[in-house]
Amino acid sequence: MDINKRTILWIVFAVSLVILWNNWQVSTGRPSMFAPAPAQTAKAPEAKKSDLPAASATAATGAAALPGAGATAAAEPFKSERITVTTDVFRVDIDTLGGTIKRLELLKFKDGVDPTKNQVLFDVDGATGKTYLAETGLVGAPGLPNHQTGFVAKPGPRMLNDANQVQLVLEAEQGGVKLTKTFTFKRGDYVIDVRHDVANVGTVPVKPELYMQLIHDGNKPAGDSYFNSSYTGPTMYTEAEHYKKMKFETLEKEAQESIKTGKPAVQDHPTKADNGWVAISQHFFVSALVPQDKLKRDIFTKKVDNNQYAIGTIQPLGTLAPGATVSNEAKLYSGPQESKLLEKVTPGLELVKDYGWLTIIAKPIFWVMDHIHQVLGNWGWTIIAFTILIKLAFFPLSAAGYRSMAKVKLVTPKMQAIRERYKGDPAKMNQATMELYKTEKINPLGGCLPILVQMPVFIALYWVLQASVEIRGAPWIGWITNLAAPDPWYILPVLYAISMYITTKLNPAPADPMQAKMMLFMPLAFSVMFFFFPSGLVLYWVVNNVLSIGQQYVISKKFAPPAAA
């Protein structure tokens, strides 16, 4: 069989890129290119917060029946204020109406769209439709303090200054229950400790339940483009079910289905546990609520308003006799998806750093790169050093492939003669070609094997560069100021095209002139695709190609003298 190795190589490369593109599409919430388009259904009326049921949170459905934002909890108008707490990593605005976190600014990370501003996670912006909140409160009996109740802030410092921590204490009394929220901010820590002290100040027993929820709009973050996208939506973890992602579109469909049927939607995630966490994940960042461990909870997801969705938990606090008090300790992590930070917060939280379907390869890759970076201190040089290590690891395999291609190049005149001799009989041509391969001890697929083996590394490295906030904004040299973003001047894609052109010229030329022209055109086509890939990934391939060219040249020269003789 007359098998052209370069054609196979390009086919493998192209198919791998298609698979990479498809998995990237699926991971970012878009439909698979291999799946049929979903059927379109008539849109049901939007659910309003006032339409939500008022049943107890411990109903059989397990869904949260929480107060809507449209209701008025206080008997008299409450004049709320925003209290700003500043640490070395945060600037946080907490509204005394409900004790809700309304804005959270990360002081050590720049905005992905406007580098003159800091990255903002929690925020409410009516102009853009952004809604991102952290709310807590009590349910289980009428009139208990919730995220619509007016709280009073106790005096205290609002900036970290020289201290190691700063606290904000909010108090509210309603329905015979006093709720005290204590937010503790610590130096250098993206974890906010959230304590709820619940006291029965009435004359009858009460059975309160503590809810904590994250509210987010259904939009992608600003600057999230088609070529630089990632998953944004609710995520959760339990020891039994492990890590799970959900889409805002799924919550919307569940809400519409619930309206149509008049029954609670069946939720495709764990609804009960005594461990784990719930979160809102986005590109490079995450906000995760970690409830008190070993305390039973209901887990819920739902639509709360037009284009607003919630994920949260409800924990029963037991029956409180008059004068009794109970405390609940929880944590809110809101910050970067840095592996070392996430692992310290709670088990499983590091999984929000999503490496896609090649996590088993991507994690070791990042581990190696992280250790190299600790020595070199620059992620660009780290990628180059990592590429050299990969090249050394695959050296024997690559050398075998290049030797096979060099042998093919030596016997090209013989192959051309066979084609001329049997051009009217394809069967005899293929048979003679295979006999030539056997005589010369040539593996016709030898040149493709190194590419096949390295392709999973290429795809895994793509996810490492796509998901690692450690590389976000990391410069290399000169014009490369962000290795996680495309090359702004397209220099690396052009260098990649040149290196691929040289590689193609070093390979045996196809007998078909049209095929030969296509082989020379392919580097240009792939370099255009690399215009949209992270510059760190293109840097990897440029260095890999340069090393391959050197290796291939040396091996070709080694086989050249016998051919001349």
In 3D, which of 307, 264, 418 has the Cα closest to residue 48?
A: 307
Residue 156 has pLDDT above 70, yes or no: yes
DSSP for 325-350, please give it. EEEEEEEEEEEE--HHHHHHHSTTGG
pLDDT at 249: 92
pTM to 2 decimal places: 0.80
DSSP for 372-433, please give it. HHHHH--HHHHHHHHHHHHHHHTHHHHHHHHHHHHHHHHTHHHHHHHHHHTTT-HHHHHHHH
Distance from chain centroid for Cα 416 = 51
Give the lowest-confidence range in 80-94, 149-163, 507-521, 544-558. Answer: 507-521
pLDDT at 560: 53
**Averaged over 125-152, what is the pLDDT?**
93
357-371: pLDDT as tens digits: 888 899 999 999 999
Q: Is there a contact between 304 and 225 (Cβ–Cβ < 8 Å)?
A: no
**Averaged over 109-122, what is the pLDDT?**
91
In 3D, which of 269, 330, 346 has the Cα closest to residue 134?
A: 330
Query: Per the structure block, which two tokens stand in for 528?
Result: 């255009």
- Confidence tier at 78 by pLDDT (50, 70, 90): confident
Query: Per the structure block, which two tokens stand in for 233?
Result: 């939506």
**Mean pLDDT over all residues of the chain?**
81
More confident site: 59 or 496: 496
b (16+ CB within 10 A) / e for 177-199: bbbbbbbbbbeebbbbbbbbebb
Highest mean pLDDT, choosing among 10-14, 486-490, 527-531 = 486-490
Cα-Cα-Cα-Cα torsion 291, 297, 302, 308, nearest 10 degrees, comes to -20
pLDDT at 338: 94
**Averaged over 434-444, what is the pLDDT?**
71
Measured CA to CA, the distance from residue 82 to residue 365 in angstroms comes to 44
- Confidence tier at 238 by pLDDT (50, 70, 90): very high
